Structure 1
Amino acid sequence: MDALLVISFFLAAALLFAIPAASAAAPRAFFVFGDSLVDNGNNNYLMTTARADAPPYGIDFPTHMPTGRFSNGLNIPDIISEHLGSEPALPYLSPDLRGDKLLVGANFASAGVGILNDTGIQFRLYELGARRVVVTGTGMIGCVPAELAMHSIDGECARDLTEAADLFNPQLARMLGELNAEIGRDVFISANTNRVSFDFMFNPQDYGKYTVAIIQ
């Protein structure tokens, strides 16, 4: 199966599972690992304070109701699913994830997960059959609403966190390039989330209905 995965690398979940083989004509399955940027409802099933089950979350979702997504509406995996021509992958904890729904994929993201020393084992995904893995860098972590509310005096983003993202993202891209060279094919794709976040924040009119506002 030509599986497409999105991994929010800064706070990546260390969850792995086998991806079964399928014919080349079969639709691609979509599996998601990560944190609140890509969580689409797993935390609704967990005992945690990191929840998005009340307004204003979901106010721009088609149902106008909170869904567990840490966004006012669709999140990035939802948009990718649209472009793949498939329905969004369900949270892995959802009781509805069974039968044919399993062929669509699954979302393993959970808001608040931390980065661990063993999260590097996610790169075994290639050995398990994944052939397109999108690894996102860190976004504008110094500009998230919580950071601005707690530490910003004049509305500027936190400089130390901004600098940390600027240091981390190029190193991530280089590491993925080296990994692809070892494999001999371009499997791991680096996504510049920082640049995308910057565009969303300062040029929202360019994105119309696809603008994703993280309001955590």
Structure 2
Amino acid sequence: MWRITLYFFILFTIDSTLVNGESKVPCFFIFGDSLSDVGNNNILNTTDKSNYLPYGVDFPGQIPTGRFTNGRTIEDFISQLLGFQRYINPYSTQMDKDILRGVNFASGAAGILPKTGSRWGDRVGMDQQLKNFNTTISKLKSMVGGPVTNYLNKCLYTINIGSNDYIDKYFMTKNYPTGNQFATNQYARQLIARYKLQLQALYDSGARKITVFGLPQIGCTPAAFIRFNSTKCVNEVNQAVEAFNTMLVSLVDSFNAKLHMANFTFINLYSMQASTSPPSGSDTKHACCKLRSDFLCEPLSTPCQNRKSYEFMDGFHPTEIVNEIVSNIIFNPPNSFVHPMSISQLIN
């Protein structure tokens, strides 16, 4: 579970207002699932939405934007650290020249595999997110001076995806046969093979500064405790995730060694989550809100009062304080949770 105490001493104070001045990169493009979604699912025919309170209760203006947390996402905090005046908008609402700052393509329930999340309704999987990125590139060509790849080379890219391929697909044997068909390592290899093609396509489109998030301990979420009727982290789930993460590190190293000017870095959320003991009084096993049967928050339910002492907003998603801690750790100088470099090193 997220261990909050270890990191308070390295937190930087970030206002709800964004940093003034020039941004450290010209643009920031975001890919992923509900951990990064800032509203793309709002317009989709899906039950996997968060555009209602208590989501957003701590977001500026107490607005439920479609972020699956009580406030800001990891990428929101990163955009502040990068010096952007405003958060990066979702693809669903991108407007004209605003795409020069970047676009958020992430979608709740999305996965590496195209069928992941289908039982919840519409979602924008990783393959489609890349198609949306190419559509955005075609628009950028008329906005930037010179070859568009020269502009894209300088931007930051983050990808945080894969959790649903396990939560929704591999361990939901009632809905999918996947978990019965593949052993843990076989399934991880299948995911990595697909992910390799997707990351290669992103590189081929012009991306060079690429941050790839490993999967967290999804066996230690409130949803896992309930689904597996356990009071402890579900080792079966976490071991499956570890297999994926190990292969993803190797893929990142391979890209860095073989692709010209490639700068990939891996974020070890799993180790970060397991590092230390939680502070006294913090809740690491329960959601901050009343849960529906799908482990999202019950609409208009009253959330917990001290949200800074809860690790999870709902059955799956961290609270804002966790997102803030993670963003500062991965942005700043090297530590054991980034490989081979932090985001600040990556963009420089």
Task: Quickly name the TM-score band, shorter chain normalised.
Answer: 0.7 to 0.9
The one-letter code sitting in structure 2 at the alignment partner of 1:125 is: L
CA distance in 2, matches of 1:114, 1:132: 22
The one-letter code sitting in structure 1 at the alignment partner of 2:217 is: M
Residue 89 of structure 1 pairs with residue 166 of structure 2: no
The equivalent residue for 2:256 is 180
Higher mean alpha-carbon deviation, 99-108 vs 185-194, is at: 185-194
Give the deviation of 1:182 after TM superposition. 0.4
CA distance in 1, matches of 2:67, 2:229: 26
Residue 110 of structure 1 pairs with residue 107 of structure 2: yes
The equivalent residue for 2:96 is 99
Q: How does 1:26-105 map to 2 (within 5 A)?
A: 27-86=25-84, 87-94=86-93, 97-105=94-102
Contact 2:208-2:261 at 8 Å conserved across structures: no
CA distance in 2, matches of 1:72, 1:196: 21
Give the deviation of 1:28 after TM superposition. 2.3
The C-alpha deviation readout for 1:20-77, integer Å capped at 9, x for no partner, is xxxxx99421111111111111111111010112222112212223211111111011
Contact 1:37-1:214 at 8 Å conserved across structures: no
Counterpart of 1:132 (choices 182, 195, 209) is 209
CA distance in 2, matches of 1:79, 1:201: 24
Contact 1:74-1:212 at 8 Å conserved across structures: no
The C-alpha deviation readout for 1:173-208, integer Å capped at 9, x for no partner, is 11110111001545111111112334599358xxx9
Work out the percentage of aligned pairs sharing the same amino acid.
Answer: 36
Distance 1:214 1:188, change over 3 A: farther
Q: How does 1:162-181 map to 2 (within 5 A)?
A: 162-181=238-257
The equivalent residue for 2:200 is 123
The equivalent residue for 1:13 is none
Structure 1 length normalisation: TM-score? 0.76
The one-letter code sitting in structure 1 at the alignment partner of 2:198 is: I
**Runs of 5+ unmatched residues, structure 1:** 1-24
Give the secondary-structure state (helix, strand or coil) at the position aligned to 2:266: strand
Distance 1:197 1:102, change over 3 A: same
Count the aligned residue pairs: 185
The equivalent residue for 1:160 is 236
Give the secondary-structure state (helix, strand or coil) at the position aligned to 2:208: strand
The one-letter code sitting in structure 2 at the alignment partner of 1:76 is: I
The equivalent residue for 1:149 is 226
Distance 1:112 1:65, change over 3 A: same
Higher mean alpha-carbon deviation, 108-117 vs 67-76, is at: 108-117
The C-alpha deviation readout for 1:133-177, integer Å capped at 9, x for no partner, is 1011101111222222222332x1211111112222122111110
Distance 1:28 1:129, change over 3 A: same
Give the secondary-structure state (helix, strand or coil) at the position aligned to 2:61: coil
Give the secondary-structure state (helix, strand or coil) at the position aligned to 2:103: strand
Give the deviation of 1:212 after TM superposition. 7.3
CA distance in 2, matches of 1:182, 1:73: 39
The C-alpha deviation readout for 1:71-119, integer Å capped at 9, x for no partner, is 111101101100011121111011xx11231111111110101222644
Higher mean alpha-carbon deviation, 76-85 vs 125-134, is at: 125-134
Contact 1:71-1:212 at 8 Å conserved across structures: no
CA distance in 1, matches of 2:72, 2:103: 16
CA distance in 2, matches of 1:77, 1:27: 14
Structure 2 length normalisation: TM-score? 0.49
Higher relative contact order (CA 8 A, sep 6+): 1
Q: Which has the larger radius of gyration?
A: 2
Residue 202 of structure 1 pairs with residue 201 of structure 2: no
- Once superposed, what is the RMSD of the aligned Cα atoms? 2.6
Distance 1:188 1:27, change over 3 A: closer
The one-letter code sitting in structure 1 at the alignment partner of 2:68 is: F
